[in-house]
Chains A and B, each alone.
Chain A
Amino acid sequence: MSDEEKSLEGWAPEIPDAAALADVVDHAFDYRGDVTLVLADGGQVDGYLFNRNRDVAEPYVQVFGRDGGDPMTIPYARIRSVRFTGRDTAAGNSYAAWLRLRQAAKAGTSR
C-alpha cells in the first residue's frame, strides 16, 4: 500500500482542543468505515459518520448507528474523542492497487 493509500483503521488520536477535534472529524467524515465517538458524558456511539457541518453556530456531526435506526445528530461540543474502530472498506481497493494486481497477474501468466 502506498503512502497515499495508508488507512486510518485503528487510529485513536489525542484531541487536545477544538481545532484538533474539527480536523479529526474531517478525517472521520472521509473515512470509509465505522468510527466510535466517545462523548463527554462517557457515552459512546458506534457507527458511520456520514455528515458534518462546522459552518453553523453549533457545529454537528450525523451518524448512522451500527445497530440501525434513524440518523443521530451530535454537536461537536459533546464529542471528547474519535476512534477509527471499523474496517476501512476503501483500504487496498484503489484503482492503483487494482492495476498493480492486474499487472502482476499478467506478468505471472506470461512466464
Chain B
Amino acid sequence: MSVPLSQMWTVATYVLGQKLRGRKRYPLVLMLEPLFRCNLACAGCGKIQYPPHILKKHLTVEQCLAAVEECGAPMVSIPGGEPLMYPDIGRLVHELTARRKYVYLCTNAILLKSKLAEGLFEPSKYLSFSVHMDGLREEHDEAVCREGVYEDAIEGIREALRRGFRVTTNTTLFDGADPHRMRQFFDTMMDLGVEGMMISPGYSYSKAPDQEHFLRRQRAHELFSTMLERPKRRWRFNQSPLFLQFLMGRRDFECTPWGNPTYNMFGWQRPCYLLQEGYAATFKELLETTQWDRYGRRSGNEKCRDCMVHCGHEPTAVDTTFASWRGFRDTVVATVTGRL
C-alpha cells in the first residue's frame, strides 16, 4: 500500500462527508502554484511562457494559505514553475502541514539536495516530495531538454529518502513512449525505494507548446494497457487503481474539472489545471459561475475530447470508490490483488 492509512482515512472521511452533505461539486486536491519561474524549460510545458515581470512575481504565503482555507481540500499539490525556487517554500510547507494538509511538493529535484541541507523541511506524514521523472535517463533528460537532470533527480530522491521524507514520482507520458522501457522504469523507482509512482498521459492545451504530439485517447489506452498488463506486485502506484483501469480503457470516466482546482497569481483558474480560459476571484465564484457543462468529453468540447489527464479523472475515480458498494468493492479488490 503506497499511501499512509491516515491519509486514506482522511480522504475517505472527507469524500463521505461531502456526499452526506449532498455536495455535488467538491475539491479533492488544490493545485497551488505560488510561482511560474522554473530552472528548466521542458518540451511540452507552457507554464513558463510569460514575460519576465510575470516570472519574477510570486504569491505571498498569506495568499497561499487564504486559498487553501477557502478551498478546503484535504490535499495540496504545489507545482509551478519549480516550487523549490519559491523563496518562502519552507514556511509555506510548515504552515500547510501544521494545518494537517497532505502536501505533494512537485519538483524536478535539481535543488532538492541543497534545500534539504538548508534544513527547510522536516519529515512528516503530511509531506511528500513528488519528483518529476518521465522515464529512465535517456527519456527523462530528453523530456526536460537537459542532460544530467535524471542523475540530479536520483540524487535528490536518495537524499530525501535518507533523511526520512516521503518521496513519490510523477510521470507524464507522451506519444512514442516505450511501454517496455517504462516497466523497467517502474522497477528502477521501486529499487530506489520511493513510496509510490504517479503516471498520466500528457495533454495538449492551447497555451502549451505542443499541439500535435500528445497522446490521443486510443493510443493512450494501448500504451497503458501494454505498460500495466500483469503489473508486478512490487510496483506501488500513488493513484486509484480505478484510474489506472481507466487509462487502460477498462473503465469509462467523465472528467471532474473542479476536483483539482488551480490557484495562482491570476486567481482561480477556469475550468481546470490544463485549460486556461479565465480566472475567478474566489473559489465560490469559480464553482458557481463556471459553465461546467461546456467541458468534459460529453460536452463535445474539442479541447476535452482526447483528454485523460490525472488531474481531471483521478477525482472521478476517487468519487466512484465512494459512490457505490460496487465502486468500493472494485477498488478494494484491485488494491488487494494488485490486478488491474
Contact B211 A4 (CB under 8 A): yes
Known: A33-B51, A66-B51, A90-B46. 18 other contacts (CB 8 A): A4-B211, A29-B278, A30-B207, A32-B50, A34-B51, A34-B53, A50-B266, A51-B266, A55-B289, A64-B57, A90-B49, A93-B209, A94-B210, A94-B211, A95-B211, A95-B214, A96-B209, A98-B209
Which residue of chain B has the shortest Cβ distance to A4 in the bound complex?
B211
Which residue of chain A has the shortest Cβ distance to B53 in the bound complex?
A66
Contact A89 B279 (CB under 8 A): no
Contacts of A51 in B (CB 8 A): 266-267, 278-279
Once bound together, how far apart are the Cα atoms of A105 and B206, in whole Å? 27
Contact B207 A96 (CB under 8 A): no
Interface of A is mostly: mixed
Contacts of A94 in B (CB 8 A): 209-211
Contacts of A87 in B (CB 8 A): 51
Can you pick out 15 interface pairs between chain A and chain B where the beta carbons lie within 8 Å of each other?
A29-B278, A30-B206, A34-B51, A34-B53, A47-B53, A51-B279, A64-B53, A89-B50, A90-B46, A90-B207, A90-B209, A93-B41, A95-B214, A98-B43, A98-B145
Once bound together, how far apart are the Cα atoms of A96 and B53, in whole Å? 27
Contact B212 A89 (CB under 8 A): no
B213 within 8 A of A: yes
Contacts of B117 in A (CB 8 A): none
B1 within 8 A of A: no
Name A residues whose Cβ lies closer than 8 Å to a Cβ of B.
4, 29-30, 32-34, 47-48, 50-53, 55, 62, 64, 66-68, 86-87, 89-90, 93-99
Name B residues whose Cβ lies closer than 8 Å to a Cβ of A.
41, 43-44, 46, 49-51, 53-54, 57, 145, 206-214, 266-267, 278-279, 289
Contact A48 B50 (CB under 8 A): yes
In the complex, how many angstroms separate the beta carbon of B35 from the nearest chain A beta carbon? 14
Contact B211 A48 (CB under 8 A): no
Interface of B is mostly: loop
- Partner of B212 from A30, A64, A66, A96 at Cβ < 8 Å: A96
Asked, given contacts A50-B266, A64-B57, A98-B209, whether A93 binds B49 with beta carbons under 8 Å apart, the answer is: yes
Which residue of chain A has the shortest Cβ distance to B279 in the bound complex?
A51
Which residue of chain A has the shortest Cβ distance to B267 in the bound complex?
A51
Asked, given contacts A53-B278, A99-B213, whether A48 binds B53 with beta carbons under 8 Å apart, the answer is: yes
Contacts of B210 in A (CB 8 A): 94-96
Which residue of chain B has the shortest Cβ distance to A55 in the bound complex?
B289
Contacts of B267 in A (CB 8 A): 51
Contact B44 A95 (CB under 8 A): yes
Q: Which residue, B46, B53, B207, B212, has most C-beta atoms of chain A within 10 A? A: B53
